[in-house]
A and B are shown apart, each in its own frame.
Chain A
Amino acid sequence: ETSSYDKDEL
């Protein structure tokens, strides 16, 4: 799912 990626950014 898309929103999982941006949780790896600060």
Chain B
Amino acid sequence: MNAFRFLGDMTHLFSVLVLLLKIYATKSCSGVSRKTQELYMVVFLARYMDLFTDYISLYNSVMKVVFITSSAAIVWCMRRHPQVRRTYDKEQDTFRHVVLVAAAFVLALIFNERFTFREICWAFSIYLEAVAILPQLVLLQRGRNVDNLTGQYVFFLGAYRAFYILNWIYRYFTEGHHSRWISWLSGLVQTGLYADFFYYYFLR
């Protein structure tokens, strides 16, 4: 575990906590894309299936449980919570996210480390995570007023993968040259998608 990766995980955790705070404190999910939240839930479920089979560390297991339960809780709130669900911008959140799931799945079938169920699920989760933010970014561009918490949520979410890229660079020079092109390329695409958001976020 290096500082970049730890910073990345903490930034990721913080982004989820900011979103939970926004929904809990304001009892509103206006400006939040439910589709992006559903995609993240699929990402975590597909990637953290090894939660019960491979024990890596307490930290690793705890964080996996936190990410799975928090993403499920957010989706539940946006679908079932009587007050919150009313504030969901259904007609604004129109991105066809099924296309993203299908594309990521096809890519995972073609490009993976090994053609095994677990490796294909892992690659699927990496590809899907790279594009999962798209519905949210589209919603932000449509939405007139982006409230601070939602903006901060997206900012931390974009920053976390940038830290991971630094982590991969660090590991490349310290642990030898693993082939991690799936993570590399997806991480670059993922962070790149935030470029215009970061541009406007800092200009505002």
Is chain B's interface secondary structure helix, strand, loop, or mixed overall?
A: helix
Neighbouring A residues of B113 by C-beta, 8 Å: 2-3
| Known contacts A2-B178, A2-B179, A2-B180: A8-B56 contact under CB 8 Å | yes
Neighbouring A residues of B171 by C-beta, 8 Å: 5
Q: How many A-B residue pairs have CB under 8 A?
A: 33
Closest beta carbon of chain A to B134's beta carbon, Å: 21
Neighbouring B residues of A7 by C-beta, 8 Å: 50, 54, 56, 122
A10 to B8, CA, bound (A): 10
A3 touches B119 (CB 8 A): yes
Closest beta carbon of chain A to B181's beta carbon, Å: 10
Can you name 30 A-B residue pairings with CB atoms under 8 Å? A2-B113, A2-B178, A2-B179, A2-B180, A3-B113, A3-B114, A3-B119, A5-B171, A5-B175, A5-B178, A5-B180, A6-B122, A6-B178, A6-B180, A6-B183, A7-B50, A7-B54, A7-B56, A7-B122, A8-B56, A8-B57, A8-B60, A9-B5, A9-B167, A9-B183, A10-B12, A10-B60, A10-B63, A10-B64, A10-B67
